[in-house]
Amino acid sequence: MTSVEIEPRITTGVVEHITKPEPRSLGRVLIQCRDQPGIVSAVSRVLTDFGANITSLDQYSTDPSGGQFFQRTEFHLENLNARRTDLDKELGDRIRDVYDAQVTLSRVAYRKRVAIFVSKTDHCLLDLLWRHRSGELPVDIVMVVSNHSDLADDVHYFGIPFMHVPVDPKDKTVAENRHLDLLRDNVDLIVLARYMQIISERFLNEVNVPVINIHHSFLPAFIGAAPYRKAKERGVKMVGATAHYVTAELDQGPIIEQDVIRVDHSHSTQELMRKGAEVERQVLTRAVSWHCEDKVMRYGNLTVVI
Amino acid sequence: MTSVEIEPRITTGVVEHITKPEPRSLGRVLIQCRDQPGIVSAVSRVLTDFGANITSLDQYSTDPSGGQFFQRTEFHLENLNARRTDLDKELGDRIRDVYDAQVTLSRVAYRKRVAIFVSKTDHCLLDLLWRHRSGELPVDIVMVVSNHSDLADDVHYFGIPFMHVPVDPKDKTVAENRHLDLLRDNVDLIVLARYMQIISERFLNEVNVPVINIHHSFLPAFIGAAPYRKAKERGVKMVGATAHYVTAELDQGPIIEQDVIRVDHSHSTQELMRKGAEVERQVLTRAVSWHCEDKVMRYGNLTVVI
Amino acid sequence: MTSVEIEPRITTGVVEHITKPEPRSLGRVLIQCRDQPGIVSAVSRVLTDFGANITSLDQYSTDPSGGQFFQRTEFHLENLNARRTDLDKELGDRIRDVYDAQVTLSRVAYRKRVAIFVSKTDHCLLDLLWRHRSGELPVDIVMVVSNHSDLADDVHYFGIPFMHVPVDPKDKTVAENRHLDLLRDNVDLIVLARYMQIISERFLNEVNVPVINIHHSFLPAFIGAAPYRKAKERGVKMVGATAHYVTAELDQGPIIEQDVIRVDHSHSTQELMRKGAEVERQVLTRAVSWHCEDKVMRYGNLTVVI
Amino acid sequence: MTSVEIEPRITTGVVEHITKPEPRSLGRVLIQCRDQPGIVSAVSRVLTDFGANITSLDQYSTDPSGGQFFQRTEFHLENLNARRTDLDKELGDRIRDVYDAQVTLSRVAYRKRVAIFVSKTDHCLLDLLWRHRSGELPVDIVMVVSNHSDLADDVHYFGIPFMHVPVDPKDKTVAENRHLDLLRDNVDLIVLARYMQIISERFLNEVNVPVINIHHSFLPAFIGAAPYRKAKERGVKMVGATAHYVTAELDQGPIIEQDVIRVDHSHSTQELMRKGAEVERQVLTRAVSWHCEDKVMRYGNLTVVI
């Protein structure tokens, strides 16, 4: 309760007025290679030679000498869209080829196309839809896919297409083919927002985009079904959630983010589920945001979040 | 992603099947008085004499000898509704009169009637509406009142009446009278879910129900307007939120709940606002839940949350 | 940096001067039985009949009807030491026999006798010794036992006896017998403060007092040896620690307390160990404190901490 | 309790053996200036031209165009000690002069010389001494200065000189002169580890090194004396601590780090002090560590921690 409705801009003192540059002139370069002397300098020189100004640079090496090297650089470059083919070629010649590096150039203005899978539980889905609507989650949500129709109305309220694809437990191929028809070459990311069906290796291979899942425990504790029941039986004093990339092995993929919340003996399994739901939605939303801002780099079964 | 959709009940081992008793047979007694020997025993004896089974008992004394005493007891009593007048009389005779105590008897099944005030910011409102819909917040939301019409559609989607009461900054009396017409003798609680108008002492006196506000800082830091801007200027490393009962003095009422989130130098004021929004909605929802479960007892300018 | 050295007493307003009663007149009753109507009332009546004033009462039932019931009551009774035999008999007649309950009466003034086992890692040990010295941990530390001599000087600095009992990996019986000679009928609690040796079932049976261990992971994740290495390999985003009662099954005993700390990809295994050490010592100290204040009740493989 | 005492090295898989380079070949460059295109590239080019390998680079700008720019770079350079004069000259010519930047070159192997001030409260002091002994805090603790003699034995146990400098409340000049004699040109940093005396502006000017203080509240809440008492009276639900650089204005200097811990109505002022002590020592130790690793850059009344 305050008498002023609008948070005033900061106009005096050392805290300055922030002039965000046009997103269309902002780009990112992701690098991954064996660590070698001169790599940071070489990348920044390419960008400087193009007239780009580096606005953010994060790098990490698994080992000061001879480790794996990761770098994420954001830069400001007028007319980026017109010049990105040239810049990509230059990065190819002077970085990709010289350092045997994976180099990815992307535009900040490009919004990743995302499909969300869900079953009947709504909290993770609604958190993503809300933040999408408020502008916090800079992605295009192309559709929501569900094996049930329960959440259709909620999804329609947000103006997002809802695809009901029932799954026959005896033959999941029909549903899987339908999923592939909907998603192949259509999305950049799939998010399993409490989708209670196993994802097959064939699907992962054919859809060929990253799949992020939220598991309702602090992995590697309580892998598989019914983690809150197992948590209650083991008497843990915290429950958690884990967002990870899906791989062919159940609940074993690279972890992007985790968090926990305190519980005690008095909480029933249902209350653990409710408490855990708070953590699940926060952890999943953070993981999706970071992925979509190109902050997550995979390396073996690990992630580097920079 | 698991192969089982339903969290199974716990059926074996020491973790037992929970049979929640009918809420209609559940009651609560709140006691506040000077601490005196025998008070806990006296209350439990009254309940036992009525055939009630105590299912939860929390008490607190500000001082082991001669302090202020607070007790919250939940009990199970068949046919509570029919017998509560008798029980209340007995508590009056044997507790209220003997110990000079404030004694409040309530039924768990009774859902408090709540009005929510909001301006244009939606996160606290939506969190309350969402949890209300999911059954987590056991109250009746009677209406949402706003000095703007921006959030009408969202409120209607949840099937809740939306009252647009514009506030003339030169004469707030008209709006205040309209508020009193809507709320007097109609609600048990008013929640200010980021309502950006000063509440007058006259309104507090006339509406005569508790008013809970969410202030967007860790009080007593950053009292008044624009706390996130002040937080940015001071360079704090955490931002927070405070839910408190509203009194005539701005941001000075009894604190119910607080929480914080970590920030750093790189966050703009806008990002502090976004981070803080997460905390605001959690803190307000917790405070409203606790109040509605009769867990918050006021004492001077303090609260006892038991 | 303030101009006043002593934190002044609160002397005005609703926050009152706290007059702690003499510890020698403070007692505790712990109850565990099948939940039955009237039990809370019956216990408080016994205490009131003796002239005791209940200063704290916590109870919990696993199920509102027919569950397991736990109660911890603190009370003030003049001349407790002289009257406790009578009080115990009365509790036996009116509670233990009537409700088939475990009933334990103890004096707050009695300090539990504790032995600490340690190997070479000092952080958990030093945290316990420090808090013991500052008066925060109201126990008698009878001795520190170690399979190495590295920490002898530190322990002596605190004026505590240090027993070096080397363990022969080929025959651990000699060491075990020495332990039993030192501890049998001599201590109320054994604390394994990073003691890197398996405790045998025979030892547990013969020493016949609770044994609390700190495991350096968030159990049930990373059971067994080298949890920080496993955490690094799995790429978790938090590391934790678990204090639990030791049972014959490694790392499977009832959990008393857990906590975690955030880590990221850049932390080496050594840095995870250092970060985890902070959590380990806090978790172990909390668990030991709660146990020694009779706040932990065991039930199957679970704990109720009230 | 595990069967293995030594945390094994990681030797297989993607998690590699970490070969820390010799600290004597590690250097740091800190830069602060108005943000200008090409600055990141220019610094990395200088380092690359010298044959240095950048192992860590963090930068931050208060505004993408025209803000204040901060950069911290760690690098590996054989024979750093012999070549640092040349490198510093080169940085001067190509960075300091060209970009009108503050440029600081330092060696990681150099351990900052630190004096700790303390009164009677030991927890912050002991935490620093303990971590210093364990090697976690890579500084030289030159002496401990106190206005009381209570903690002399503890300090001597760690082998650190203890200077008792009583402070006459009527004339603090004598003590201040003694402090200046001890510290001027002798230390790089002064840490007030619960030193309960006001530091004068004259002292700050004459000693001319940074002074870090731990304030026992979440600033700007509860400035000045007796913050825990004030926290109790206001009924806050968390208490905190703030580490900041000392300036002439009491409790107003740039904040380096803050943290909080949850409390409730049942905690007395003494218990708030005990809970807060945990936070104080962690916050102070983190602030001192970061300062000594050159991670804290001051800017107006703010800090950038990178």
Same domain? A181 vs A243: yes
Query: Checking DSSP bridges between strand A68-76 and strand A102-107, what pairing results, if any?
Result: unpaired
Give the residue on D whose Cα is nearest the Cα of A65: D19
Q: Which sign does the torsion angle of CA A152, A158, A162, A167 carry?
A: negative
pLDDT in tens, C95-138: 999 999 999 999 999 999 999 999 999 999 999 999 999 999 99
Give domain status of residue D6, yes or no. no
Does one domain contain both A103 and A161?
no
- Is the Cβ pair B5, A196 closer than 8 Å? yes
List of E strands, chain B = 26-34, 53-61, 68-76, 102-107, 112-118, 139-146, 162-164, 189-192, 211-215, 238-245, 255-262, 296-299, 302-305
Are C234 and A221 an interchain contact pair (Cβ–Cβ within 8 Å)?
A: no
**Ramachandran region of residue B116, left (φ > 0), alpha (ψ -120 to 50) or beta?**
beta
B302·C15 Cβ contact <8 A: yes
Pick C66 or D51 by higher pLDDT: D51
- Give Dmax (Cα) for chain D: 67
Q: How far is C33 from chain B (nearest CA, A)?
A: 13
Confidence of residue A20 (pLDDT cuts 50, 70, 90): low
Tell me the three state secondary structure of residue B232.
helix
Chain B contact set for A122 (CB, 8 A): 134
Average pLDDT, chain A: 91
| Nearest by Cα to D48 from C207, C122, A45 | A45
Alpha-carbon dihedral angle through residues C233, C237, C242, C248, given to the nearest 10 degrees: -30
**A216 and A292 both lie in a single domain:** yes
Are residues A134 and A77 part of one domain? no
Coil, strand, or helix at residue A306?
A: coil
CB contact, 8 Å: C53 with chain A? Answer: no
CA-to-CA distance for D272 and D171, rounded, in angstroms? 33
Report pLDDT digits (tens) over A133-182: 999 999 999 999 999 999 999 999 999 999 999 999 999 999 999 999 99
Are both A243 and A157 inside the same structural domain? yes
Query: CB–CB of C1 and D229 under 8 A?
Result: no
Question: Is B251 tagged catalytic?
Answer: yes
Predicted confidence band at C262 (pLDDT cuts at 50, 70, 90)? very high
* A255/C237 Cβ within 8 A: yes
Touching subunits for chain C (3+ Cβ pairs under 8 A): A, B, D
Q: C7 CB near a chain D CB, below 8 Å?
A: yes
Task: Report yes or no on B18 lying in a domain.
Answer: no
**What is the extent of the structural domain holding B44?**
23-107
Contact assignment for B66 to C41 by CB distance below 8 Å? no
Do residues A82 and A223 both lie within one domain? no
- Three-state DSSP class for C161? coil
pLDDT of C54 higher than 90? no
pLDDT digits (tens, 9 = 90+) for C180-230: 999 999 999 999 999 999 999 999 999 999 999 999 999 999 999 999 999
Out of A219, A237, A302, closest to residue C255 by CB: A237
Closest chain C residue to the Cα of B50, Cα to Cα: C38
Q: Is the pLDDT of residue A3 over 70?
A: no
Is C196 near chain D, with CB under 8 Å? yes
Answer yes or no: do D1 and C282 touch at CB < 8 A: no
Q: Are C122 and C96 in the same domain?
A: no
Mean pLDDT in consecutive groups of 10 residues from the start of chain B, 306 residues: 37 40 86 91 92 89 85 93 95 96 96 97 96 94 98 96 96 96 98 96 97 96 94 97 96 97 95 95 97 96 96
The answer to whether the peptide bond before residue A210 is cis (omega within 30 degrees of 0) is: no
- CATH classification of the domain holding B40: 3.30.70.260
* Of residues C63, C6, D221, A75, the one with CA closest to residue B76: C63
In a domain, residue D3? The reply is no
Considering the domain architecture, whether residues D78 and D175 belong to the same structural domain is answered as no
Residue type, A300: G
Q: Which two tokens stand for residue A215?
A: 């598991």
Helices (H), A186-261: 201-207, 227-234
The residue among B40, B48, B70, B108 with the most chain C CBs within 10 A of its CB, best to mutate, is B40
Where does a domain end: D43, D76, D107? D107
D243 vs D258: CA distance, rounded Å: 6
Structure tokens belonging to residue C44: 């408080």
In this structure, the answer to whether residues C226 and C187 fall within a common structural domain is yes
Helix C123-134 and helix C269-292: axis angle, to 10°?
40
Q: Which long-range contacts (CB under 8 A, 24 or more apart) does C15-18 make?
A: C15/B62, C15/B302, C15/D232, C15/D233, C15/D269, C16/B62, C16/B63, C16/B67, C16/B68, C17/B63, C18/B62, C18/B63, C18/B64, C18/D268, C18/D270
Write down the mean pLDDT value for chain D: 91
Most confident of A52-66, C25-39, D183-197: D183-197
Question: Choosing among D71, D218, D237, which should be mutated to test the B contact, i.e. which has the most B CBs within 10 A?
Answer: D237
B218 touching D, CB under 8 A?
yes
In a domain? residue B145: yes
Among chain D residues, CA nearest to A49:
D38
Spatial CA neighbour of B265 closest among D264, C58, D59: D59
d(CA B9, CA D149): 63
- In chain A, residues with a C-beta closer than 8 Å to the C-beta of D68 are 14, 16
Q: Of B107, B130, B147, which residue constitutes the final position of a domain?
A: B107
Examine the domain organization and report whether B95 and B151 are in the same domain.
no
Task: Assess if residue C14 is contained within a domain.
Answer: no
Residue closest to D56 by CA, chosen among D75, D80, D71: D75
How many angstroms separate the CA atoms of B59 and A191, rounded? 46
Q: Do B218 and D221 touch (CB under 8 A)?
A: yes
Which residue of B15, B38, B64 is in closest CB contact with C20? B64
Model confidence at D11, in pLDDT bands (50, 70, 90)? Answer: very low
Residues of D in contact with A62 (CB under 8 A): 15-16, 18
Residue D12 — φ and ψ, nearest 5°? Answer: -125, 170
d(CA A233, CA A226): 11
**Beta strands at A26-34 and A68-76: parallel, antiparallel or unpaired:** antiparallel
Q: Give the separation between CA C80 and CA C47, rounded to whole angstroms.
A: 12
Contacts of B51 by beta carbon, 8 Å cutoff, 6+ apart: B77, B78, C37
The more confidently predicted of residues D77 and A55 is D77
A266-273 average pLDDT score: 95
DSSP per-residue string spanning A269-303: HHHHHHHHHHHHHHHHHHHHHHHHTT-EEEETTEE
Q: Between A and B, how many residue pairs show a Cβ–Cβ distance under 8 A?
A: 103
Per-residue confidence (pLDDT) for residue B21, from 0 to 100: 57
Which of B112, B63, B132, B159 shows the shortest CA–CA distance to B294?
B112
Give yes or no: residues D162 and D100 share one domain: no
* Residue C217 near residue C200, CB atoms below 8 Å: no
Cβ-based neighbour number of residue C222 at 10 Å: 25
Instruction: Report the pLDDT value the prediction gives residue A66, as an integer from 0 to 100.
Output: 77
Are A260 and C254 in contact (CB < 8 Å)? no
Q: What is the pLDDT of residues A31-45, one digit of tens each?
A: 999 988 889 989 999
pLDDT of C287 reads 98
3-class SS at B76?
Answer: strand
Under 8 Å CB-to-CB from D209, ≥6 apart: which residues? Answer: D183, D187, D188, D189, D190
Q: How far apart, in whole angstroms, are the C-alpha atoms of residue B289 and residue B281?
A: 12
- Residue A200 sits at the chain B interface (C-beta within 8 Å): no
* pLDDT of amino acid B23: 77
Is C24:C81 a contact under the CB 8 Å cutoff?
A: yes
Residue C250 pLDDT grade (very low, low, confident, very high; cuts 50, 70, 90): confident
CA angle D243-D247-D250, nearest 5°?
75
pLDDT at D271 over 50: yes
Q: Is A224 on the interface with B (CB under 8 A)?
A: yes
Enumerate the residues of chain A whose CB falls inside 8 A of the CB of residue D47: 41
* Cβ proximity of A118 and A195 under 8 Å: yes
Fill in the DSSP letter of residue B93: I
Cβ contact D220–B234 (<8 Å): yes
Residues C142-182: tens digit of each pLDDT: 999 999 999 999 999 999 999 999 999 999 999 999 999 99
The residue to which tokens 């295009």 are assigned: A140
Q: What is the pLDDT of residue A6?
A: 37
Confidence bin at A17 (pLDDT 50/70/90): very low
Which among C194, C270, C262 has a CA at the least distance from the CA of C232?
A: C270
Q: How many CA atoms lie within 13 A of B259 on its CB side?
A: 15
pLDDT at residue A96, rounded to an integer = 96
Contact between B235 and D255 using a beta-carbon 8 Å cutoff: yes
| Whole-angstrom Cα Rg for chain A | 22
Which of C55, C264, C298, C301 is the best residue to mutate to test the B interface, defined by the most B CB atoms within 10 Å of its own CB?
C55
Residue B204 lies in a domain: yes
Q: How far, in Å, CA of C176 to CA of C199, rounded?
A: 9
- Using the beta-carbon criterion (under 8 Å), do D303 and B254 form an inter-chain contact? no
- In a domain, residue A15? The reply is no
Q: Which residue in C154, C251, C259, C294 is the catalytic one?
A: C251
| Domain limit, last residue, from B61, B82, B107 | B107
Q: Give how far Cα C264 sits from Cα of B126, B147, C271, D20, Å.
A: 33, 45, 10, 18
CATH code for position C189: 3.40.50.170
- Chain C residues within 8 A of D13 when measuring between CB atoms: 233
Give me the residue from B60, B237, B255 closest to D237, CB to CB. Answer: B255
Cβ separation B40–C21 shorter than 8 A: no
The residue in chain B having the minimum alpha-carbon distance to the alpha carbon of residue A191 is B1
Q: Is the same domain home to C186 and C77?
A: no
Nearest to A258 among C60, C237, C259 (CB): C237
Kindly state whether residue B1 falls inside one of the protein's structural domains: no
For residue B153, give how far its alpha carbon lies from the nearest alpha carbon of chain A (Å): 10
How high is the pLDDT of residue B22? 67
Q: Choosing among C44, C50, C63, which should be mutated to test the B contact, i.e. which has the most B CBs within 10 A?
A: C44
What confidence tier does C65 reach under pLDDT thresholds 50, 70, 90? confident
**What is the number of structural domains in chain A?**
2
Determine how β-strand B302-305 pairs with β-strand B296-299.
antiparallel
Long-range contacts of D202-209 (CB under 8 A, 24+ apart): D202/D176, D203/D176, D203/D179, D204/D246, D204/D247, D204/D248, D206/D180, D207/D179, D207/D180, D207/D183, D208/D184, D209/D183
Res. D3: pLDDT tops 80: no
Reported as a single tens digit per residue, the pLDDT across D111-126 is 999 999 999 999 999 9
Residue B272's nearest CA partner among B244, B233, B243, B220 is B233
Put simply, the answer to whether C219 touches A222 (Cβ < 8 Å) is: no
Using a CB-CB cut-off of 8 Å, the residues of chain B touching A282 are 278
The pLDDT-based confidence of D21 (bands split at 50, 70, 90) is low
The answer, for D51 touching chain A at a CB cutoff of 8 Å, is yes
Q: Nearest to residue B46, comparing CAs of B100, B107, B93?
A: B93
In this prediction, residue C23 carries a pLDDT of 77
CB B36 within 8 A of CB B50: no
